[in-house]
Structures are given as structure tokens and as C-alpha cells.
Structure 1
Amino acid sequence: MPIALSGKAEYKQAKTWIMRGVMALYFFDTISVNLHVQDDYGIECGSLCEVKKLAQRALCEMAIHNLNDGDHQTFTVQVRDLLGSEIYTSNLKIAEQYK
């Protein structure tokens, strides 16, 4: 869960940190057909490129651990910043068909 910011000054400071690229806290929510997990702890990342790599790695892990759950699956990682705004979404779709 994002940190509660009590005043305008704290909100402005957090936004400044995010814009400057200082290590910021990001929350990685994971969604699959049967499960939605909201990240309440977060991970510090130094750049949006790092956020993207971690989200894509999470998708791979989700797929590996859920391969036997059906022929058609979609996995999603939604990333929120410290302010609670969704800043990045990545999806992985698995579709199988026997011929």
C-alpha cells in the first residue's frame, strides 16, 4: 500500500524524488485468472527501465508456476509509484492449441 502523505509539502517532495530518478519505491501488483495480489511492501528501483525489467521477470515467474492451470492464460503486472499512480503495465498471454 502506498505511504500516506499528510501534507502538500510531503506530496511535492515525493513527486520530486520520482521525477529526479532517485531510488523510489514501486509496488508490483500481480493478476492472473484466479488470483490478484496487491503488493503492500514495494521494491526500490533506480529507474523506470529497472521497473520494466522486474515486471517482466515477475511475468515469467508467474507463467512458470502456473503452466498447468489451463490452455489460455493471461498474466498481468501493474506497477504503482509511491503516490499510488499506475505507471506501468505488462501482460503475458499464453494460448495453446492442438492441431
Structure 2
Amino acid sequence: NVAAAYALAAQYLGMRFVYLEAGSGAPEPLSPRLIKTVRSVLDVPLVVGGGIRNEEQARRVVESGADLVVTGTLAERDVGALGKVIAAVKDAGSRKKSRT
């Protein structure tokens, strides 16, 4: 996968994290498969953003391997939903942590 190769190159060049972004205001988040593939080659934190509009999408992104989630447009447009997304990310992250 090209995304995994680029992410690995970034890590080897000394980057301290990798950011995968679907784009500002993207209609959907990146696929879980892509996130899992990139996560599988990295030893640095993986940041994922773009297209994350609700708690289920955020949970899926974390469960797929994201260490950090970016929700810029959601924070601007629906502050009420942001609290639910934060709770979902914390929950998925704590479950992921307990499995390692």
C-alpha cells in the first residue's frame, strides 16, 4: 500500500508521528482497512482526521489503530456532538490499551 510506504518513510526520516487525513470536511473518514495497514508498519503515533462526524466513526478510527483523532469541522459545526465523540474516543482508547 502506498500510504503505508509513505508513512514508513516518514518514520525512517525521523518524523515523530504520522497524520493521515481524509481532508477538511471530507464526506467520510478514511477506511478502517487503510488505517490498520498504516498502523501495522509504524512505531510512532498515528493521527487520523477528516470526515469524522459522530461517535461511531471516531470509535472505528481508534479501533482501527489511530492514536489521536482530529475532528476540526465537527468542533466548528456541532459542539454538542463533540462531547459524544470525545467519550467514544476515550472509551475505545482505554479498551485498546487494556488489550496490549
Tell me the TM-score normalized by structure 2. 0.27
Tell me the TM-score normalized by structure 1. 0.27
Flag the structure with higher helix content: 2
- The answer to which structure, 1 or 2, has the higher relative contact order (CA under 8 A, 6+ apart) is 1
Flag the structure with higher strand content: 1
Larger radius of gyration between Structure 1 and Structure 2: 1
